[in-house]
A and B are shown apart, each in its own frame.
Chain A
Amino acid sequence: NAGVTQTPKFRVLKTGQSMTLLCAQDMNHEYMYWYRQDPGMGLRLIHYSVGEGTTAKGEVPDGYNVSRLKKQNFLLGLESAAPSQTSVYFCASSLRTSGSPSTGELFFGEGSRLTVL
C-alpha cells in the first residue's frame, strides 16, 4: 500500500537547468496537489488538479508547470530553475467529497528536497 510516492527524493540543480518531479498515487484519488514548504512560510499551494487532464494555479504558480495526463500521476516541472525555488516539495492527493466544501483529507508524499545553486 504505497499511497503517495514522490521521485526523486533529493536533487541539486544549477540555475537555469530544468527538471520534473513525479508524483504517483495508488488510491484512485481525483484531486492532486503540489505544495512547497519553506521555513516560516508553511505550505504554499503551487498548482493542483481536480481530475485527469485538468490543472489549475494555486498561490505561487510562477516558474512552475504541471501536467496530469493520467489520473494517478501529477508532474511538476521547472523549466529554468532559480535559487528562489530551493525548497521542499510535497505532493498530496484527496478524494472528492460529496456536497460542499469539496476537499476532504489530504494524503501527503514523503517530500522532495530541491536545491538550486
Chain B
Amino acid sequence: AQSVSQHNHHVILSEAASLELGCNYSYGGTVNLFWYVQYPGQHLQLLLKYFSGDPLVKGIKGFEAEFIKSKFSFNLRKPSVQWSDTAEYFCAVNADTDKLIFGTGTRLQVFP
C-alpha cells in the first residue's frame, strides 16, 4: 500500500531563514506528487505538483520541491521564509490509483 512520511512534525524558524521539509513515499512505480498548504482556519490549497519532466518543480509564493526518484523523496524548500508562511504543510502521493494519500503534515511557525 502507498504511504507518505513527513518526519518533521513541527518546525520553528525566524523570518529570512531557509526551509526544507522532508517527504518520503513508498511506491516503486510512477507517481504524482503534491504539496498542499493549509493556512490557519482555512482549507487546503495546492502549493505545487509533480507529474513528469523536470524533477525540480516551482510553486507559488517562492516554494519549490525536488523529486529524487532514487530516494523516494519530494522535499519542499524555500530560501527565505516569511511570517505569512506560517501554516501546516502536507505532502501527498498518488500512484496508479484513484486515491490521493496524505502525510501527517508539518506545522511551520515563522517568527518575525
Chain A residues near B (Cβ < 8 Å): 31, 33, 35, 40-45, 48, 50, 56, 58-59, 90, 92, 94, 97, 100-106, 108-111
A42 contacts B105, CB within 8 Å?
Answer: yes
A103 contacts B94, CB within 8 Å?
Answer: yes
B104 contacts A31, CB within 8 Å?
Answer: no
A102 contacts B34, CB within 8 Å?
Answer: no
Q: What are 19 sample pairs from A and B whose C-beta atoms fall under 8 A apart? A: A33-B100, A42-B104, A44-B102, A45-B100, A48-B98, A50-B98, A56-B98, A58-B99, A92-B44, A101-B96, A103-B94, A103-B100, A104-B32, A106-B44, A106-B92, A106-B100, A108-B45, A109-B43, A110-B43
Taking CB atoms and an 8 Å cut-off, the chain B residues in 68-95 that contact chain A are: 90, 92, 94-95
How many chain B residues sit at the interface, stated as a range, is 20 to 34
Secondary structure of the B contact surface, majority rule: loop
Q: A40-B9, A111-B43 are in contact. Are A101 and B95 (CB under 8 A)?
A: yes
Q: A40-B104, A48-B98, A56-B98 are in contact. Are A105 and B43 (CB under 8 A)?
A: no
Residues of B contacting A92 in the complex (Cβ-Cβ under 8 angstroms):
44
Confirm or deny: B12 has a beta carbon within 8 angstroms of a beta carbon on chain A: no
B31 contacts A101, CB within 8 Å?
Answer: yes
Confirm or deny: B46 has a beta carbon within 8 angstroms of a beta carbon on chain A: yes
Give CA–CA (A94, B94) in the complex, Å. Answer: 12
Give CA–CA (A104, B94) in the complex, Å. Answer: 8
A102 contacts B101, CB within 8 Å?
Answer: no
What would 12 more interface pairs be, CB under 8 Å, given A102-B94, A106-B92? A33-B99, A33-B100, A42-B102, A45-B101, A56-B98, A92-B44, A97-B51, A101-B30, A101-B31, A101-B95, A103-B97, A103-B100
- Please encode chain B, from 18 to 48, with 1 for each CB lying within 8 Å of some chain A CB and 0 for all others: 0000000000001110101000001111100
Residues of A contacting B99 in the complex (Cβ-Cβ under 8 angstroms):
33, 45, 48, 58, 103
Give CA–CA (A12, B69) in the complex, Å. Answer: 45
Give CA–CA (A56, B45) in the complex, Å. Answer: 24
